[in-house]
Amino acid sequence: MNGVWILSKPTTVCGTDTHIRTDVLVALTVTEPTAVSRRQALLGAAAIGGLSGCLGRSDQHGESPLTEPPSPRPRETLFPLTTYESVDGRPVMTMPVNVRIDLRDSEKELSDVEEVFRSTLSWSRLARLADPFWPFHTSPTQFIWNGYTETFFPSASSYRRPFPLRVFVGEIGYHTYLWPIYDGDQLVGVAIQAHKDVGSVFDHRGTGFAEAAAAVGSIFTRRGWRGSWSAFQYDVSRQQFDQWGPTGDLIVYPPDGDGL
Task: Write out the chain's pLDDT in tens, 260 residues.
Answer: 333 333 333 332 223 333 323 233 333 322 223 333 333 333 333 232 223 334 444 334 456 677 677 777 777 788 999 999 988 888 999 999 999 999 998 999 999 999 999 999 888 766 777 666 666 555 678 999 888 888 899 999 999 898 877 867 778 889 999 999 998 889 999 999 999 988 876 777 788 999 999 999 999 999 999 999 999 999 899 999 999 999 999 999 999 644 43
Strands of the chain, DSSP E: 4-5, 11-13, 16-18, 29-30, 53-54, 82-87, 90-96, 99-102, 143-146, 151-154, 157-162, 171-183, 186-199, 204-207, 226-229, 250-253
pTM: predicted TM-score of the whole model, two decimal places: 0.73
Domain tally, the chain: 1
Parent domain of 39: 4-253
Q: What is the pLDDT of residue 125?
A: 66
- Give the three-state DSSP class for 23: helix
In a domain, 225, yes or no: yes
**Which one, of 206, 203, 139, 214, lies nearest residue 173 by Cα?**
206
Distance CA 245, CA 213 (A): 13
In a domain, 24, yes or no: yes
Q: What is the pLDDT of residue 228?
A: 95
In a domain, 233, yes or no: yes
Asked if the bond preceding 72 is cis, omega within 30° of 0, the reply is yes
Residue 223 per-residue DSSP state = T
In a domain, 258, yes or no: no
Strand partners, 159: 176
